[in-house]
Amino acid sequence: MAGTVEAIHLAPDEGAPTAPVERVDAVAGAGLRGDRHFAAGAAPARQITLIESEELERLADEHGMRLGPGESRRQLTTSGVRLDSLVGRRFRIGAVECRGVELCEPCSHLEKLTGRPGIMRALAHRAGLNAEILTDGEIATGDTIVPLD
């Protein structure tokens, strides 16, 4: 059940547009260097966020709402792995070890930033994963995502 990192998007400040990057430094206990949530001692659920490209495709197919990977406000867009199965589990993204903390539910902030009424309902329980970064390292597009336990 391995997956792949399809895209990485960071925003320097809350509400700022996201920008694609090919690689990023992941720092245990802090998050992704250069992102709005990066801070020493960051809450585990705020260190890294992921969303499945398959869910973005479903959103377009079933609800007519197209979101590009960065528009989802999640830092990593993945394919080939069911992220909800990683809640409470350790997994590796490339060489970086992480732990799934909780589902990353959509919020009114996402609806406001995208200008798409109803997106919260359409993405409920399908908007990705909040995870904790357990080891330092680099994450790059194309990296494999592998469950560890």
Predicted confidence (pLDDT) per residue in 31-61, tens digit: 999 999 999 989 999 899 999 999 999 988 9
pLDDT, greater one: 123 or 10: 10
* Tokens coding 58: 């479903």
Summarised one tens digit per residue, pLDDT across range 53-94 is: 999 999 889 888 888 888 888 899 999 999 999 999 999 999
CA distance 3 to 20: 19
pTM of the model: 0.91
pLDDT at 71: 84
26 closest CA partner among 8, 13, 14:
8
Contact 120, 110 (CB under 8 A): yes
Site of tokens 């592998």: 146
CA distance 117 to 87: 28
Cα three-residue angle 30-124-117, rounded to 5 degrees: 105
For every residue of 26-74, DSSP letters joined together read EETTTEETTSTT--TT--GGGSEEEEEHHHHHHHHHHH-----GGGG--
The ranges assigned to domains in the chain are 3-147
**66-70, 101-105, 106-110, 130-134: least confident range:** 106-110
pLDDT at 17: 87
Summarised one tens digit per residue, pLDDT across range 138-148 is: 999 999 999 99
* Tokens coding 84: 């909800």
| CATH number, span 3-147 | 2.40.33.20
